[in-house]
Structure 1
Amino acid sequence: MSVFLDLPAAIADEATGVAAHYGEPLREQRALEGGTAVVDLSHRGIVVVSGDDRLSWLNSMTSQQLTGLRPGESTETLLLDPNGRIEYAIRVVDDGTQSWLLVDEGLAERLTAFLTRMRFALRVVVANRSEDFAVVGAFGNGAALRLLRELNPEVEWVDPWQGVQRGGVQYARGEHAGAHWEFTQCVFARDRLAAVTAGLGPDVRAAGLMALAALEVRAWRPTQHGDLDERSIAHEFDWMRTAVHLTKGCYRGQETVAKVHNLGRPPRRLTLLHLDGFRGELPVPGALVYLADTAKDPEARPVGRITRATLHYEWGGIALALLKRSVPEDAELEVRSGDAGADPKSSEGDVIAASQEVIVPADAGASRDIPRLKRL
């Protein structure tokens, strides 16, 4: 359990062992976004790769260009399966002697085992350091980040979600909701977390996971545990903008990435849903999405599912949802609340009306105009 749970009013998230909130989720959102709160991410995993070949080796397996990464420079990359589906979303920062790989909870041990099997004769050493180090995050450049930097973190990972990275491409039209996203994750030795909590006071408070999730959903920011399933590919989440380099060369799953972007279209698309707040109810993750006026029809087929739903301090009830590409971008939708594991043909559960804010357009992909061959 995290030392942050010793803070007043801390309510634990039982699945992660860190604070879900500290009694004021909406105020915590404001403080976190305003740079006057820190968020405890000590439940997440940390894998450290050292050795002279570390960057070229990681570059050969993952989707982002990692060779030439400067000390202190942050990026993110995806480790895909041979069919291009996302197995690991990895936040990367190199300190000049070793690469720090930050992953979601429960993934560090598996990632360490996979990378260890792939070492062959290269000069690399892989270690799961999740028990030794922990992550604390802060937004902007305000009092919260200054507090963390005064405590001398091992490394800082600066989220690149703010803009399209070198070699990437954006599917979203117009200004991206994450254009002003400024989130830094600082890595500390675990015995330094008590110093972080001791530094909290009237100028800097703690915020829980609920506050971070609300800001992520509003900024269209996908996460592995929050939004992915076993079929997810980068194109469906507009993750091509920060985690994929389209001209870097071969890596596992690269053929699918190139084919979908150049010739095909992603089968699903991430969208932000604005939820009707009449009942003050949020759907559970995995809740099914239907076209308007069909959610109560036991024969109706769902057109998508909710990945995360949250109450935002300004926007009210919002959710990220994966929809079929064929769903019209202007279609009004309905979400069937209740148990995500319920029978899809069951009409039980309340219905929440929802409207779309398009993230990945229906016409994403197919960037190359390949002329059709004439046939007899």
Structure 2
Amino acid sequence: MTEFPIASDSPLLALPDAVASVPGSPDEGLPWHYGDPLGEQRAAVDDAAVVDRSTRFVIAITGEERLSWLHTISSQHVAMLPDGTSAENLSLDLNGRVEDHFVQTDLDGVTWIDTEPNRGTALLGFLTKMVFWAKAEPRDGNELAMLSLLGPRTADPGIPAALGLDVLPTEPYAAVALPGGGFVRRMPWPTDHAYDLLVPREKLTEVFTALTAAGARAAGTWAFEALRVAAVRPRLGLDTDERTIPHEARWIGGPAEHGAVHLDKGCYRGQETVARVHNLGKPPRHLVLLHLDGSADGRPEPGEPVTAGGRTVGRLGTVIDHYELGPIALALIKRTITPETPLVAGPCAAAIDPDSVPQENGVQAGRQAIERLRGR
């Protein structure tokens, strides 16, 4: 299992009924729930809820060449990213394996990047090392802290008014500045109505309290993670390992496809692997949703093997209880394993959700070209 550093405790842990996340987890230092984790999930889907995600590591990049420079060292097409928009992005190693996943927003001359707390220092170090002669200046941007706002009632006038806005952004990845500093951006996951708020760290409690006073329910990381798993959205270090390539984790696609790897660009580290898999092959594994037997004595742990007939066929990722689906998990499973295959994960019987299996039956363009050359 991936180790995560101890994070500074969020001030929101001092709120009534706040229960801290499990020690050693990636969300250590944040509220796990406020006494009703399943009800908090339901509010995030049907009503409005606000989640503390303030341990996300934030990086700020200034300089007139920040976008063209970042374009050359990452997987997403961001050279012409318009002001007030965002994109998901990856940093890959030379073999095309995923090292970092991050969300970036360009607003008012600054590119803001947020990533996993245990990867922020390494990512900042990599970016700083890669500047060379480019007019780009990465720095620690943790003066901003993240909250996530979920649910259809976020459109009610009181919610944006609590942030000093008339309305919230309507298009995925769109971002607008907040009057008190920071910004809000629309996200396409984990629900249909999802926003990330990056607010001045010293105003974290103030903004959170204003949103709950406006009708948003306080929800913990349990709620966010359960909805993320149900949406089959991976989290670096939990649902990926050191061998994961972008195709396995559903990160292929530009911003319009809600992906992190644009296929119409090249010249970035790891691009050869991405192009080879896309044009000629298929990924050895794919990310799927597992349903776990809730009657089992205990739950499996992230990183444990998933087996079929005693043979390891995959790696378990996030394990969580969902308010409707019960115990569920993400897993990287060998592509040849079908949803009908009985699986075991730790003490639990497990089954692949058939709706979560990627459709990979088409013939790639590169393979078609080879067949034409062979006269087939």
Q: TM-score range with shorter-chain normalisation?
A: 0.7 to 0.9
Aligned partner letter, 2:184:
E
Deviation, structure 1 residue 155: 1.9
Of 112, 121, 141 in structure 2, the residue corresponding to residue 129 of structure 1 is 141
Partner of 1:335: 345
Partner of 2:358: 360
Note closer, same or farther for the CA distance 1:248–1:29 as it changes in structure 2 (3 Å cut): same
Post-superposition CA distance 1:187-208 (Å, at most 9, x none): 1111111212332248222111
Partner of 2:92: 80
- Checking the alignment, whether the CA contact within 8 Å between 1:325 and 1:362 is kept in structure 2 is no
Partner of 1:370: 369
Deviation, structure 1 residue 9: 1.2
Distance in 2 between residues matched to 1:276 and 1:233, nearest whole Å? 29
Deviation, structure 1 residue 146: 2.3
- Checking the alignment, whether the CA contact within 8 Å between 1:269 and 1:361 is kept in structure 2 is no
- Checking the alignment, whether the CA contact within 8 Å between 1:326 and 1:362 is kept in structure 2 is no
Aligned partner letter, 1:48:
A
- Checking the alignment, whether the CA contact within 8 Å between 2:290 and 2:352 is kept in structure 1 is yes
TM-score (norm 1): 0.83
Partner of 1:165: none
Partner of 1:260: 277
Q: After TM superposition, list the pairs within 5 Å mapping 1:94-133 onto structure 2.
A: 94-130=106-142, 132-133=143-144
Give the secondary-structure state (helix, strand or coil) at the position aligned to 2:327.
Answer: strand
Of 296, 301, 312 in structure 2, the residue corresponding to residue 284 of structure 1 is 301
Runs of 4+ in 1 over 6 A off after TM superposition: none
Aligned partner letter, 1:195:
E
Provide the aligned length of Structure 1 versus Structure 2: 337
Distance in 1 between residues matched to 2:62 and 2:214, nearest whole Å? 40
Aligned partner letter, 1:332:
P
Distance in 2 between residues matched to 1:145 and 1:108, nearest whole Å? 30
Matched, 1:249 2:288: no
Deviation, structure 1 residue 355: 3.8
Deviation, structure 1 residue 142: 2.7
Distance in 2 between residues matched to 1:365 and 1:231, nearest whole Å? 24
Partner of 1:302: 312
Distance in 2 between residues matched to 1:207 and 1:225, nearest whole Å? 23
Post-superposition CA distance 1:127-150 (Å, at most 9, x none): 0122x2100011245348526633
Gaps in structure 1 of 5+ consecutive residues: 162-177, 295-299, 338-350
Partner of 2:323: 313
Distance in 2 between residues matched to 1:89 and 1:67, nearest whole Å? 18
Matched, 1:24 2:21: no
Give the secondary-structure state (helix, strand or coil) at the position aligned to 1:109.
Answer: helix
Give the secondary-structure state (helix, strand or coil) at the position aligned to 2:124.
Answer: helix
Deviation, structure 1 residue 7: 1.0
Partner of 2:286: 269
- Checking the alignment, whether the CA contact within 8 Å between 1:134 and 1:188 is kept in structure 2 is yes
Of 160, 172, 197 in structure 2, the residue corresponding to residue 146 of structure 1 is 160
Note closer, same or farther for the CA distance 1:182–1:364 as it changes in structure 2 (3 Å cut): farther
Deviation, structure 1 residue 364: 7.1
Note closer, same or farther for the CA distance 1:38–1:364 as it changes in structure 2 (3 Å cut): farther
Of 244, 249, 252 in structure 2, the residue corresponding to residue 237 of structure 1 is 249
- Checking the alignment, whether the CA contact within 8 Å between 2:66 and 2:135 is kept in structure 1 is yes
Deviation, structure 1 residue 6: 1.1
Note closer, same or farther for the CA distance 1:272–1:226 as it changes in structure 2 (3 Å cut): same
Matched, 1:210 2:238: no
Matched, 1:192 2:189: no
- Checking the alignment, whether the CA contact within 8 Å between 1:35 and 1:138 is kept in structure 2 is no
Q: After TM superposition, list the pairs within 5 Å mapping 1:27-42 onto structure 2.
A: 27-42=39-54
Of 7, 14, 28 in structure 2, the residue corresponding to residue 6 of structure 1 is 14
- Checking the alignment, whether the CA contact within 8 Å between 1:36 and 1:203 is kept in structure 2 is yes
Give the secondary-structure state (helix, strand or coil) at the position aligned to 1:82.
Answer: coil
TM-score (norm 2): 0.83
Aligned partner letter, 1:210:
W
Matched, 1:60 2:72: yes
Q: Provide the identity percentage.
A: 38
Distance in 2 between residues matched to 1:276 and 1:96, nearest whole Å? 49
Partner of 1:169: none
Give the secondary-structure state (helix, strand or coil) at the position aligned to 2:369.
Answer: coil
Deviation, structure 1 residue 366: 3.7
- Checking the alignment, whether the CA contact within 8 Å between 1:332 and 1:356 is kept in structure 2 is no
Deviation, structure 1 residue 30: 1.1
Post-superposition CA distance 1:159-212 (Å, at most 9, x none): 245xxxxxxxxxxxxxxxx7x633211111111112123322482221111111
Gaps in structure 2 of 5+ consecutive residues: 1-8, 165-177, 254-258
**RMSD across aligned C-alpha pairs, in angstroms?**
2.2
Aligned partner letter, 1:273:
L
Post-superposition CA distance 1:202-223 (Å, at most 9, x none): 8222111111110001111111
Give the secondary-structure state (helix, strand or coil) at the position aligned to 2:248.
Answer: helix
Note closer, same or farther for the CA distance 1:32–1:374 as it changes in structure 2 (3 Å cut): closer
Note closer, same or farther for the CA distance 1:55–1:371 as it changes in structure 2 (3 Å cut): same
Note closer, same or farther for the CA distance 1:332–1:361 as it changes in structure 2 (3 Å cut): farther
- Checking the alignment, whether the CA contact within 8 Å between 1:139 and 1:145 is kept in structure 2 is no
